[in-house]
Amino acid sequence: MLLSELDLFLFGEGTHRRLWEFLGAHPLPERGVRFAVWAPNADAVFVMGDWNGWTDGTALQPQGASGIWAGVCADAAVGQCYKYAVVAGGRTTMKADPMARQSEVPPANASVVPAVSTHRWADGDWMARRSRADGAPLRIYEVHLGSWRPWVTNYRELGEELAEHVQALGFTHVELLPLAEHPYAPSWGYQVTGYFSPTARFGSPDDLRACVDALHARSIGVLMDWVPAHFPKDDWSLARFDGTALYEHADPRQGEHPDWGTYVFNYGRTEVRNFLVSNALYWLDEFHMDGLRVDAVASMLYLDYSRSAGEWVPNKFGGRENLDAVDFLRQMTSAVAAEHPTAMVIAEESTAWPQVTAQVEHGGLGFTHKWNMGWMHDTLGYMRHESIHRNWHHHELTFGLLYAFSERFVLPLSHDEVVHGKGSLLNKMPGDDWQRFANLRALYAWMWALPGAKLLFMGAELAPFTEWAENSGLPWHLLDHAAHRGVRDLLAEINRRCGSWPALYERDHDPMGFQWLDADDAENSTFSFLRWGHAGASAVACVANFTPVPRAGQRVGVPWAGQWELLVDTDSPAWGGSGFSGYSLEGTMIPADPDMSWQNQPASVVVDLPPLSVVWLGSRRP
């Protein structure tokens, strides 16, 4: 046999963590290429490609009872295109390689024999010091490479320009929408046909490695969206790969996604779980990704997700939980934790499923973080209300703090909130143009002061009037206008302040790091709270006014006397505000009165609270 007994055994057992090293196309040292593909129900499998004119296929041979077919094509070479001709039930279907590590540029869809990587990683220091632990800052800039700067079309250039931009804004990480190959550009990469193949739209796999290296050189982590929930029905890809439902369930009540018109993976099949777990490790191993954001986890966890009665199959206990998917997710997060203990695995999970970020050995799913979709929904709902009505919706900003520490949350304002008719963030804000910009600046400073990691979709720093469209670039010209430039500059400033005040991140997932000062002033739509650093060594007070009525002489409780530094005032003229308070952005110190306790604090400060604004004050314990 062409493949080792150990590889075949581990594959059959479902524990082979490096499938890409023995399945797929592998150039041989002297001449030719070895091909191997899993197709257990095929009657025959041939390899067709550029070297044989796509007419005289090379027959692959079964490798024992593994369901894998393998063979060597002596005339095949690096860079040539190929597909498998899979014969099943008297029908031959041309299939791209599920394990292809390189593909043609869409809309072409053949697999490509990959070259051995010649990239020499230069990110050893970064890889040694990166962290997924509590206390490490996590501020994420979410990016769709195809429309970020569409005139920049190669991974290498994108890496350099993106690194410069993200570093200037002060984010700690980028999150790239799915990089795996996909035929339909408006799916943004979420309908994957090449799980092991970086999209060829922006260059070669080594070009992508160079992109990641460039970001790491600027101390910017790289996360990637990963899509193990479903895959498209294109007949040249995974769908009915060997004439049967191989990767997907045969029963449409389990194997088809009603919302997306896609197939759902069969998580109960050992080889399918192995394929996906190995794929997660592939991106971390081969491309030095610092983590995976796992898409559509809720759709995996529930058998009745988006299905009506009679359209789903209960589990063996009669429940709606997808037990096979739970097992897969735990297997995947455990494998990542074992092999890449400093890599993150972030769940986009929109329900109240318990212990998403608890360790597997404690009954959890093992994710390092979870998107807080409830916070996003409530916060944007509140901000949409006209200020005169916000007093009736006060709880929408306070409710999230009741469960803020039940998981390790990321607070997201993602691409999903600015597409498909939802409007841009700016256009969600009420009032005239001045008020809309003020509301948006206040939203960002409010969000950044709350506990939890932060995520913002690209372009939000430009405050565009229109929602995102993947077929056009971001409106960078808006930075020629002061109001838009002010939003960008404010965002950079709050990121800078977060970086220098650990109270704003090092206890993001610790309830002792947050304390309400006043959560009940619904009548005036004001809020105030404290963020605490480790051991109470420092504190930041956040005060918010979500009405256009300025509030002079607002008293705020603080934990000690002395000077409190003005860190952020979203109403500063530097950002496009009114300058109501008259505070200077640099060096303004506000004394705390030790003889006036307030809001259950031993001291207090008095601030002039501008309209539609958020103010931060910081101090280190004397």
Q: Which residues belong to the active site?
A: 295, 348
550, 554, 560, 562: CA torsion to nearest 10: 70
User: Which of 1.20.140.10, 3.40.50.2300, 2.70.98.10, 2.60.40.1180 would CATH assign to domain 510-620?
Assistant: 2.60.40.1180
Question: How much is the pLDDT for 131?
Answer: 82
How far, in Å, are 32, 42, 100, 334, 520 from residue 20 at the CA level?
A: 18, 21, 8, 19, 56
How many Å apart are CA 375 and CA 237, to the nearest integer? 37
Residue range 9-37: mean pLDDT, rounded: 95
If we measure between CA atoms, which residue out of 273, 124, 122, 96 comes closest to residue 180? 96
What are the b/e assignments for 182-196, b being 16+ CB within 10 Å?
bbeeebbbbbbbbbb
Q: Which pLDDT score is estimated for 347?
A: 98
- DSSP output for 297-344: HHHHHBTTTT--TTSS---TTS-SB-HHHHHHHHHHHHHHHHH-TT-E
Residues facing 291 on adjacent strands: 223, 344
Q: What is the CATH number of domain 5-112?
A: 2.60.40.10
Question: How much is the pLDDT for 583?
Answer: 82
- Asked if residues 78 and 206 have their Cβ atoms less than 8 Å apart, the reply is no
CA distance 3 to 22: 7
Provide the residue type at 546 as one letter.
F
Question: How far apart are alpha carbons 458 and 448 in whole angstroms?
Answer: 16
Place of tokens 């090449």: 194
Supply the mean pLDDT for the chain: 96
CA distance 583 to 606: 13
Q: What token pair was written down for 602? A: 């031993």
250-303 per-position pLDDT tens digit: 999 999 998 899 999 999 999 999 999 999 999 999 999 999 999 999 999 999
The reported pLDDT for the residue numbered 535 is 87
| Tokens coding 156 | 């290498």
Q: Are 199 and 108 in contact (CB under 8 A)?
A: no
- Count of all residues that appear for the chain in the document: 622
Q: What is the 3-state secondary structure (H, E, C) of 371-409?
A: ECHHHHHHHHHHHHCCHHHHHHHCHHHHHHHHCCCCCCE
Q: How far apart are CA 357 and CA 292, in angstroms?
A: 14
Which helix (H) or strand (E) covers residue 369, if one does?
Answer: strand 369-371
User: Distances from the Cα of 242 to the Cαs of 52, 197, 293, 454, in angstroms?
Assistant: 23, 20, 30, 43
Is the model's pLDDT at 606 over the cut of 90? yes
pLDDT value for 30: 87
The DSSP bridge partners found for residue 411 are 454
- What percent of the chain is modeled with pLDDT above 90? 95
Q: Give the span between the Cα atoms of 223 and 166, in whole angstroms.
A: 14
Residue 492: its pLDDT value, please?
98
When pLDDT is cut at 50, 70 and 90, the band that residue 581 belongs to is confident
Give pLDDT, residue 56: 87
3-state secondary structure of 124: helix
Per-residue confidence (pLDDT) for residue 133, from 0 to 100? 72
CA atoms within 13 A on the CB side of 339: 23
Per-residue pLDDT band at 136 (split at 50, 70, 90):
confident
Helix (H, G, I), strand (E, B) or coil at 441: helix
Residue-level pLDDT at 576 = 96
- Domain ranges for the chain: 5-112, 510-620
Determine contact, residues 158/211, Cβ cutoff 8 Å: yes
The bridge status of strand 538-545 relative to strand 221-226 is unpaired
Mapped onto helix, strand or coil, the DSSP state of residue 353 is: coil
What pLDDT, in 10s, does the model give residues 202-252? 999 999 999 999 999 999 999 999 999 999 999 999 999 999 999 999 999
Count of alpha carbons within 13 angstroms of residue 5, beta-carbon side:
0
pLDDT in tens, 316-339: 999 999 999 999 999 999 999 999
Q: Which residues, including other chains, have CB under 8 Å from residue 252's CB and lie 6 or more apart?
A: none
Q: How confident is the model at residue 118 (pLDDT cuts 50, 70, 90)?
A: very high
Q: Do domains 5-112 and 510-620 have the same CATH topology?
A: yes
Task: Report how far Cα 491 is from the mean position of its chain's Cα atoms.
Answer: 20
Helices 270-287 and 205-217, axial angle in degrees (round to 10): 60
Name residue 219's amino acid.
S
Average pLDDT (329-355) is 97
pLDDT at 134 over 80: no
Provide the pLDDT for residue 584.
76
pTM of the model: 0.96
What φ, ψ does residue 79 adopt, rounded to 5°?
A: 90, -10
